[in-house]
Amino acid sequence: MDTLDNNEEINSAARAIRIAFLIHKRQENETLSREEDKEMEEWLAQDGHRQLLEHLMDRRQTIAKLKEIDDHGVQDATRVIFDRLGFIKRARYGRITPFQRWGSVAAILLLTVGAIWIFVRKEKPALPVPAVSAANEVIPPGGNRATLTLADGSTIALDSSATRQRGPNQLARQGDANVLAKNGQLIYQSSGTAQAVVYNKITTPRGGQYQVTLQDGTIVWLNAASSLKYPSVFTGKIREVELTGEAYFDVARNIDQPFIVRFQQTHVRVLGTAFNIMAYDDEPAGAQTTLISGRVAVRAGERELTLEPGKMALSGVEELTEKDADIPQAIAWKNGEIALNNADLGNMMRQISRWYDVNVTFKGPMHKRRFGGKIKRSVSLPILLEFLNANGIKSMVNNRDVQLYE
């Protein structure tokens, strides 16, 4: 698609999103400004828009439409709308989806209005939403990108294009393991020969994520701006890896060979379980270990505690505390979501920065306001910024620098 066509799509989608926010203000019985009222009247003057407004003002009918979309399994259409800010493509085999029956702009309006109900806190009055400019680059969301560093220091770039083939692609031989790439993930398989143990490291950039299956069958999902160092095969009495950033572990059970994750000044010891570790250096609360299933022992300095499912350990230098965990919030990233359940502004800014590979700053004093809701990580940055606008946080984008302000 050439630049002109892309800009036209951006303008169309941005216009639809703005109208959706004005419709939301009407639903909340908020007064439109003179400029906003004029904008709505111009939109309503177009053919079919008054009938569409009646549908959107009826919450039950809109919810039913959203349910219809979900029942028909057209999540891909949703992704196309938000990712490309463009028009709806015809489904495979010529099937007409509910999106096409409503039309592309109607679908964007429907999805945006529905998302606003989820994302915007009703107790906060909505502020006027500035129009989206198509002059800025449309920054896409992150994706499957990583770098594999082999034992000899050489590197292999991992991305969707390099690993999308159906069959396994052998990337390297590392000690006793064959390193395979398949369907966007890295897989280590023992070759059954006695070789010296060597160490590999997988690193995701900002805007990247990746999945690796270790030689013992443990599966690790690596979030953006993270790294995992591990042996090509596990020998001896323990299985040990080193983490920076964030990862979700589904550890293969082996009572004779405990699994240990080292990060910052902490280590987690398990036999077989599922848990999430967030250990970014810029997180002020320290590292967080959230247990999904099984049991883990968390040790920081001389302190140690055992977690039960649904609990979280907060660890730092010689500090270790336990609290109830918000599991959906902790593993939202693994499930393709940005979750903002009671998140503060700083937390939200750090999530945006890591996933969209942008530099985020806030103009003015940082307040203690909290946010709620969630949004798919597959949406492009302009869509996310529109949601923030609806919650009273405006934005200015200059290349990959994003400045937020009130």
Q: Could you tell me how many residues make up the chain?
A: 406
Calculate ∠ Cα 274-280-285, nearest 5°.
Answer: 90
Contact 309, 291 (CB under 8 A): yes
Which residues pair with residue 246 across a beta bridge? Answer: 278
Contact 134, 10 (CB under 8 A): yes
SS3 80: helix
Per DSSP, which regions of 271-385 are E strands?
Answer: 274-279, 287-293, 296-300, 303-307, 311-316, 319-324, 337-339, 343-344, 359-362, 370-371, 374-376
pLDDT of residue 321: 93
Contact 260, 242 (CB under 8 A): no
Q: Where exactly are the structural domains of the chain? A: 3-139+336-405, 143-330
Which H, E and C letters describe 84-126, residue by residue? HCCCCCCCHHHCCCHHHHHCHHHHHHHHHHHHHHHHCCCCCCC
pLDDT of residue 14: 59
Nearest Cα residue to 226 out of 146, 172, 331: 146
Are 3-139+336-405 and 143-330 the same fold in CATH? no
CATH architecture of 3-139+336-405: 3-Layer(bab) Sandwich (3.55)
SS3 191: coil
**Cβ-Cβ contacts under 8 Å for 103 (sequence gap 6 or more):** none
- CATH number belonging to domain 143-330: 2.60.120.1440
Contact 215, 188 (CB under 8 A): yes
Furthest C-alpha separation in the chain: 78
pLDDT in tens, the chain (406 residues): 343 344 444 455 556 667 777 776 776 667 778 888 888 888 888 877 777 777 666 655 555 555 444 444 434 444 443 443 322 333 333 333 333 334 444 555 555 555 544 443 333 433 333 333 333 456 888 999 999 999 999 999 998 555 444 446 788 888 888 899 887 789 999 877 767 789 999 999 999 999 999 999 999 999 999 999 999 999 889 999 999 999 999 999 999 999 999 999 899 999 889 999 999 998 888 899 999 999 999 998 888 999 999 999 998 766 899 999 999 999 999 999 888 777 888 888 999 999 999 999 998 887 777 777 778 888 888 888 887 877 778 899 988 999 998 8
| Count of Cβ atoms closer than 10 Å to residue 2 Cβ | 6
395/406 Cα distance (integer angstroms): 8
Contact 179, 170 (CB under 8 A): yes
Which single residue is written with the structure tokens 């999103």? 17
pLDDT of residue 12: 54
- The helices-and-strands tally (H runs, E runs) of the chain is 11, 25
Contact 186, 210 (CB under 8 A): yes
Which residues pair with residue 277 across a beta bridge? Answer: 247, 289
126/20 Cα distance (integer angstroms): 13
Element (H, E) at 209: strand 208-213
pLDDT of residue 374: 77
pLDDT of residue 358: 94
pLDDT of residue 305: 92
pLDDT of residue 225: 96
**Cβ-Cβ contacts under 8 Å for 339 (sequence gap 6 or more):** 328, 329, 332, 333, 374
